[in-house]
Amino acid sequence: MSGESSTQDGNGTAGRVIRIGTRKSQLARIQTDSVAEKLKELNPNVHLEIVGMSTTGDKILDTALSKIGQKSLFTKELENALERDEVDLVVHSLKDLPTTLPLGFTIGAVLKRENPHDAVVLHPKHAGKTLDTLPDKSVIGTSSLRRAAQLKKRFPHLEFKDIRGNLNTRLKKLDEKDDFAAIILATAGLRRMGWDSRVSQILGPEDCMYAVGQGALAVEVRARDKDILEMVSVMHDPDTVLRCIAERAFMRQLARGCSVPVAVHTEVKDFQLYLTGAVYSLDGSDSLKETMQTSVEPGNEVEEAAVDEGAHRVGVTASNVSQAAQDAAEKLGMDLAKLLLSKGAREILTVARQLNDAR
């Protein structure tokens, strides 16, 4: 078992000091604090300690993420600390977590999703405008191939340029210089920072579908730590779990890694899970998009917590969510990816990757 300080009682976690790993950015701390508050409400006798650390993605600020070509840019250092028993759980933005986790780790909680859509944040001089009404050749800042590919196709009068840094840094670059007319950011991050007033426009799926897992927080734990896994699992939001399993299965089947333009949109309605997935060329001129659905009505199975590699679905362990529904969600993602691959998705993504590497 891990090396927590402890004065344990019967449930295995009461009285223990549980160390939570997080990135040091303001947004990461806000997200981690929100998870810590939920854990404390559910487990009043647990003592929580937050451990901040910097990741590779935080340190490389002069290169577009898609050009770095390394998975786990924002997670590896946190997972190393988890492996060394320096922390007991780690809070991530789910979209930062690869669809295949290192052996011995699992996502023990996927919390209720914030709005997953992207937002337009305008330079103050363009207040009141939208992407449609910005002047020709206006420069939009985004380091996401997914966003740029969709928006280039949808708004051909605009130009797109990489912008890096955390939320604070990117907003400063927007406001204090004239380089950008607007930047594209995740609505969820802006809301968690309390910056709703900066959201000029929320982009619906007809303009820009979102990234796999966007808007959801994930708690990663050691799979062997059954008491920690049990403690965090009550934070699972069933609909978010099913949507994100489908999205992650789609991504894993289609293209491992985030340096390709892949986008999704999911919805659960009347026990039906709808998944739309798409792939794009870098300029958005070539794309494939399809929608499939499946029933996620809970089965009658007796659900026994089995914390082993077989219990994971694209890295997620959720013994308190219908296993039949999880199986259906995972199959939906895989089936949609296979459909797109049969129509030429691999060729589109291969060219996109090659062109991105050559930039």
Does the CA dihedral 100-108-194-128 come out positive or negative?
positive
Phi first, then psi, for residue 310 (nearest 5°) are: -70, -20
CA distances from 221 to 51, 92, 333, 335, 346 (A): 15, 11, 24, 29, 33
Question: Which structure tokens are listed for 136?
Answer: 């020709």
Catalytic entry in 88, 96, 118, 239: 96
Task: State how beta strands 139-141 and 182-186 pair.
Answer: parallel
User: Which residues are bridge partners to 275 per DSSP?
Assistant: 266, 292
**Tokens 């090396």, residue?**
3
Give catalytic status of residue 96 as yes or no.
Answer: yes
CA distances from 144 to 65, 123, 227, 261 (A): 8, 19, 38, 8
CA distances from 152 to 134, 248, 286, 310, 359 (A): 14, 25, 11, 41, 17
Phi first, then psi, for residue 155 (nearest 5°) are: -130, 70
Task: Give the Cα separation of 206 and 213 in Å (integer).
Answer: 19
DSSP state of 313: B
Tell me which residues are annotated as active site: 96
